[in-house]
């Protein structure tokens, strides 16, 4: 993990780690190259469960190999297996994260979403405002009490600013009685990724 002050992805990981313990259930809404899924797996350990979504089989295969290399039990899933069982290991789901609630077997303690496109992949296969919003709504609905949701937004690519504005609006309108919300932004670089972390009140 980078020690750079402005590395918001690393800050998101640290803030999730404050709340996630071994044996718990967590979710990665965008598995991509598998770094966030691996981070979640390290937090919950082999007795916990990580459910990771992606629409690209290529991304899920990269993630699978990364997790297998660390000794994780990995299961490949699709919509026919919904809802999933509460079971130690990593479930890699080939489906859009807007279907989150269909798959969840219980309330997750932590959820991460690194939006945008797969680094090194097809930039057309990018997260979209509409489905991102659905995934965030379901995440907040299902998150366990005192659980945290971390979202990294990339405003620099085509469509990223629109998605960022929608995410801004979503978190600005989360009920203060139910959620605490933090935003981290590099003020000197408006095109840089920025982070939201929401914690559900008990
Ligand atoms: C920035 S990458 C994720 C990075 C990843 N978390 C990591 O650690 O490497 C964004 C990913 O979101 C995926 N994606 C786009 N739309 C999606 C959707 N509706 N549901 C799930 N994943 C989606 C893309 O295929 C891409 O792999």
The protein residue with its alpha carbon nearest to ligand 1, atom 22, reads 54
Residue 166 buriedness (CB in 10 A; 0-12 / 13-18 / 19+): middle
- And the tokens for 132? 């991102």
- The token duo for 157 is 């690519």
**Fold (topology level) of 8-200:** Rossmann fold (3.40.50)
Assigned token pair, 47: 């007795």
d(CA 102, CA 116): 23
**What global pTM score does this model have?**
0.97
**Residue 128 CA, ligand 1 centroid: distance in Å:** 10
Examine residue 38 and say whether the peptide bond preceding it is cis (omega within 30 degrees of 0).
no
Residue located nearest, by CA, to atom 26 of ligand 1: 118
Q: pLDDT tens digit string along 123-142? A: 889 999 999 999 999 999 99
Q: Do residues 96 and 113 make contact, with C-beta atoms less than 8 angstroms apart?
A: no
The preferred substitution site among 55, 57, 66 for testing ligand 1, maximizing ligand atoms within 8 Å of CB, is: 55
Pick the atom of ligand 1 nearest to 112's CA: 6
Q: What is the pLDDT of residues 33-51, one digit of tens each?
A: 999 999 999 999 999 999 9
* Contact present, 117 and 126 (Cβ < 8 Å): yes
Domain ranges, ordered by start, for the chain: 8-200
């Amino acid at each position: 993990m980078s020690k750079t002050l402005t590395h918001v992805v690393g800050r998101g990981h640290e803030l999730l780690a404050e709340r996630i313990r071994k044996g718990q259930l967590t979710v990665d809404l965008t598995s991509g190259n598998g770094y966030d899924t691996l981070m979640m797996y390290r937090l919950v350990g082999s007795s916990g469960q990580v459910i990771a979504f992606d629409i690209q089989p290529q991304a899920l295969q990269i993630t699978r190999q990364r997790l297998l290399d660390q000794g994780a039990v990995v299961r490949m899933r699709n919509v026919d297996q919904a809802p999933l069982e509460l079971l130690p290991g990593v479930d890699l789901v080939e489906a859009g994260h807007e279907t989150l609630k269909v798959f969840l077997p219980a309330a997750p303690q932590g959820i991460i979403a690194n939006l945008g496109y797969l680094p090194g992949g097809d930039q057309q296969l990018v997260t979209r405002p509409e489905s991102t919003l659905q995934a965030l709504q379901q995440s907040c609905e299902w998150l366990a009490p005192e659980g945290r949701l971390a979202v990294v937004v990339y405003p620099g690519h085509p469509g990223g600013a629109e998605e960022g504005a929608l995410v801004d609006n979503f978190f600005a309108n989360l009920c203060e009685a139910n959620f605490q919300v933090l935003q981290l932004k590099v003020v000197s670089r408006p095109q840089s990724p920025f982070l939201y972390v929401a914690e559900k009140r008990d």
